[in-house]
Amino acid sequence: MSISTTGVLARPEPVAESSARYVPRKRRRPPDVRRWISPVVIVLLWQVTSATGVLPSDKLSSPVTVFRSGVDLARSGELGAALLVSFGRAMIGFGIGAAIGITLGVISGLSRWGEALVDPPVQMLRTLPLFGLIPLLILWAGIGEAPKIILLVFGVAFPLYLNVHSGIRNVDSHLVEAATALGFTRWERLIHVVLPSAVPQTLVGVRQGLGIAWIALIVAEQFNADAGLGFMINNAREFLRTDVIVVGLIVYAILGLVTDALVRLLERRALRWRAG
């Protein structure tokens, strides 16, 4: 507070606010341990029933036996070699299927003529039972790698097609109108508005396609495979090694979880612009 020359108390000058406002950082919430209760209880019950003989070992090995077999397979290198073969098959099939599904989805989503020509055959093929195609694929492509890859391509292409088509057709019309009012050309509207708006739905299709790809791979590797996790499981079945079978199934599940987590991480980074 200051005194003026006229003897009247002067009004105090307001203190300038700091230009840099303090924004408290959000604390990361610890993981919810309650989600681990039921899985741990299931594994414990599994172990108890195996140890007491209620669950015979020839029907299903105990968790301890499964763990030891997994360690032995990893040390011998058999599990790593089978994992690489199966992962390679899955990625080849997913890559081809994703390219086909995204391309057809873009053509059908952007053009009425494209939808009229592409959508009917895709919808017809989509309703066919995926695993019922195996005998026909063997007749067409033999019993080598080709039918396995084709089965994966079918499993991946359709979910991606549906999600890409839906993502493009459900773009907010107000965004397109605003871009038109700003003078964007048709090509600029496509690049800067339509395709970015379809990314969230496309990533949903990627997650669905990856899930179906791993399921299709399990089935595909059950017929005439000479390497991979399916080959390892088939050999274990011949010798009634349920522990090795469970190890293979667990590895399939882990692969599915890891790839899904990677896509979700990509989704969070790619869609960071939606946080506002």
User: What does the pLDDT look like over 59-92, one tens digit per residue?
Assistant: 888 889 889 999 999 998 888 998 999 898 889 9
Residue 7 resides in a domain: no
Name every residue whose Cβ is closer than 8 Å to that of residue 79 and which is 6 or more positions away in sequence.
70, 73, 232, 247, 251
* CATH number for position 263: 1.10.3720.10
Residue 10 resides in a domain: no
Give the chain's end-to-end CA distance (angstroms, integer).
42
- 104-127 pLDDT, tens digit per residue, is 999 988 888 888 888 899 888 888
Quote the CA–CA distance of 110 and 191 in Å, as a whole number.
Answer: 12
Residue 148 resides in a domain: yes
Checking if the pLDDT of 220 tops 50, the result is: yes
Residue 96 resides in a domain: yes
As for how many domains the chain has, the answer is 1
Containing structural domain, residue 258:
59-270
Quote the CA–CA distance of 217 and 215 in Å, as a whole number.
Answer: 5
What does the pLDDT read at residue 101?
A: 92
